[in-house]
Structure 1
Amino acid sequence: MQLSQKQIQLIYFTIIGLCFTPVFSPALALACGIVLSLAGIKYSAINKQTSFVLKASIVLMGFGMNLTQVIATSKEGFVETAISVITVMTAGFLLTKLLKIDSKIGLLISAGTAICGGSAIAAISNVLNAKSYQVSFSLVVVFILNAIALVIFPVIGHYFDMSQVTFGHWAAIAIHDTSSVVGAGASYGKEALEVATTVKLIRALWIIPLAVVISLTQKNSSSRKIKIPVFIGLFVVAIVVAHFLPAWNTTFTHLNWLGKKGMIAALFLIGSDISIKEAKKAGVKSFIHGVLLWMIIGTTSFLTLTIL
């Protein structure tokens, strides 16, 4: 039976409403979105707002974070994020040559894996002057791995009895998109969420030097602007504001709650926007490239954090 637009709207808004209740977990929201996508039930008007909902939720979550802990985590996370970014970009370059895939697709997937998934791909593609199909291929590869990571990382963490802090660091380093990092951290625990979000946003800041380097190495790049995600700065501002205005603590608590629930809604929207057709077009080698990079950073970071 073909659903009308009003029926589809009702389904979407009902699920989004449930995302703001204790009933829906991040994984359940993502799963519901994927089911709707596979069933061909899409509401394009609201899917276009996914990026805004995601970024706004991250900023709002900043009001619930402790500035002192953020600074401490930042100091600890800088070196590990630097090592992970350099390692992934180097491995990505070698795999691109080995698998003989499109160089721009290889670079975009590598940037997405090394830094922050879709945001990094969007920023780098603008500098790289990548074609739409190259960007689409890269986003599909990274998105599918994100969806898998959101589900399996908490399971692996519990199986190996990882601490909240250790899991937070691991998720921030080995999962691509900020949304999936936050989702995995939230499902693991409050402390894991705070650590994962902070380290992840430190990792996201590497968009700036990487975009500059790529811009300098590309011909005729002077005409292209480097777009850095504004939400990263706003997230930091939210943390600072909450720290220096303790009298507004109750309000900030509500904003933080709204951000957490908004993140669950964003995960639902992300899942509902999956395109199987685009996934097939991306090509086997592109997926192999993305999977191998993900396994390299996931395994090495796990071993480093749990054994060394």
Structure 2
Amino acid sequence: MSPSAPRSAPALLLLGALLALAPFTPAAAALVGGATLALTVGNPRLALTRTWTHRLLPLAVVGLGADMNLRAVAKAGLHGLGYTALSLALVLALGLWLARLLKVDREAGLLISVGTAICGGSAIAAVAPVVRAREQAISVALATVFLLNAAALVIFPPIGHAAALGQEAFGLWSALAIHDTSSVVGAGLAYGPRALEVATTVKLARALWIVPLTLGIGWLVARREPAAPGAPPLKKPWFIAGFLVMAALVTFVPILQVPGHFVAVAARRVLVLTLFLIGAGLSREALRNVGLRPFLQGLLLWLIVGSLGLGAVKLGWLTVG
């Protein structure tokens, strides 16, 4: 335990985790509560909470598949294939241009752009070893994405209601404009069951692009400089396959639909717990390391993507089906 952390910190951390599992705790409150705890009394189990964050988030996403229809997942992925590819290319180009304009560190600017284009921290974690990013650049990108994710989870549902978005429209918009899968699912959960279904399916279909994008960036980097010996292997987003398998089971084996529903309910609570742990994983050092320029790049890119996405969904240019 950190010497600066009060004796009550472990008990408060455990209490917060238990409250996150309670059915009355909303996703946004769990995330904000975890961050507040970390930035005030401190997190005496920082390494442990980060480890369990990486373990629980994929499991929660897989569990959510138990309440989904595989046909809807496939439809969302195929329907959005064209504009997903186009939007990824545009967001990456815009992000790199903003990084150059604001004179952001090259590695941090690339990671922030990739994280905004696909799925936040997961994309950053996948691309960072490929470009052999420095720890400082990774921390800056992750902290920037975390702050914007936390903001999105809190403000997107009220904006959706103010814009009179239906659940399908909100689910689509949140999947396009929020970075991490955890916050996308959390925002959909707060908005309604159909919003949750659309947000999850569209976001996971979008997350599949981690693999070709990472391989493409790796190929470009390999052309410029040889791979370093002992470089970390590419992390495979196995939870996407798990989600699809779970959705297939409940779709094609009707007897599994009732137990699948209970699995999904439990997965939603695990997701809220994960959001609490993500918040508790924030550190004052990470906030100090962000700096104004990288955060400004991430903020401007996020605002542009979110505004254009909201307009396109509101005008009916982008639809679920």
What is the 5 A alignment of 1:1-308?
A: 3-4=6-7, 7-42=8-43, 43-44=45-46, 45-218=48-221, 219-221=225-227, 224=231, 225-307=233-315, 308=317
| Count of residue pairs brought into register by the alignment | 306
| Counterpart amino acid of residue 171 in structure 2 | G
Q: CA deviation at 1:78?
A: 2.1
Contact 1:126 1:227 in 2 (8 A): no
**Is the Cα–Cα contact under 8 Å of residues 9 and 41 in structure 2 kept in the other structure?**
no
Within 2, Cα distance between the matches of 1:2 and 1:150? 28
Is the 1:53–1:266 Cα contact (8 Å) retained in structure 2? Answer: yes
Query: For 2:62, what is the secondary structure of its paired residue?
Result: helix
Shift of 1:131: 1.0
Q: CA deviation at 1:271?
A: 1.0
Question: Matched residue of 1:274: which SS?
Answer: coil
Report the TM-score, using the length of structure 2 for normalisation. Answer: 0.91
Q: Which runs of 5+ in 2 are unaligned?
A: none
Task: Give the TM-score normalised by the residue count of structure 1.
Answer: 0.94
CA offsets 1:229-280 (integer angstroms, 9 cap, x no match): 2111111111112222221223211211111010010111111111232222
- Give the gaps of 5 or more residues in structure 1: none
Aligned-partner residue type, residue 170 of structure 1: W
The whole-number CA distance in structure 2 between the counterparts of 1:92 and 1:213 is 17
Percent of aligned pairs with the same amino acid: 40
> 1:145 and 1:2, CA in 2 relative to 1: closer, same or farther beyond 3 A?
closer
* SS of structure 1 residue aligned to 2:25: coil
Pick which of 295-304 and 150-159 moved more.
295-304
Give, in whole Å, the separation in 1 of the partners of 2:179 and 2:214: 17
RMSD over equivalenced CA pairs, Å: 1.7
CA shift for structure 1 position 2: 6.2
